[in-house]
Amino acid sequence: MAYNLELASRIRNATALFPETFTEKKMFGGVAFLYGGKMTVGPVKDDLMVRVIASKMDKVLSMENVRPMDFTGKPMKEFIFVSAEGYKTEAQLNDWIALGLEHAKSKLV
């Protein structure tokens, strides 16, 4: 399994409750959820990938269960991974989706 299908389903269900419309696209060996054509979140193996605006990266990276996204072997700008403990509850998952959505909206201005 290239990505956690249960996590993808949870994201799909959660994004359906947001007033914004999300789309899905296969990428990073998983599936990404996009808003306005911009990546927000997605499962990569068992991690949750989240886009984060640059001004919040230091604060977010200091949180438990969060690390830089190092998919290519080096940290990627404005990307993080959240381990399973960090998105265990629906409230946690929704917060990460909102953070990713904030990033996408910032790129559409």
DSSP strands (E only) in 18-102:
22-27, 30-35, 38-44, 47-51, 66-68, 79-82
Which residue segments constitute the domains of the chain, with CATH numbers given? Answer: 5-107 (3.30.1460.30)
What's the pTM? 0.94
The per-residue pLDDT string of the chain (109 residues; one tens digit each, 9 = 90 and over) reads 489 999 999 999 999 999 999 999 998 678 999 999 999 999 999 999 999 999 999 999 999 999 999 877 888 899 999 999 999 999 999 999 999 999 999 999 7
| 28 residue type, one letter | F
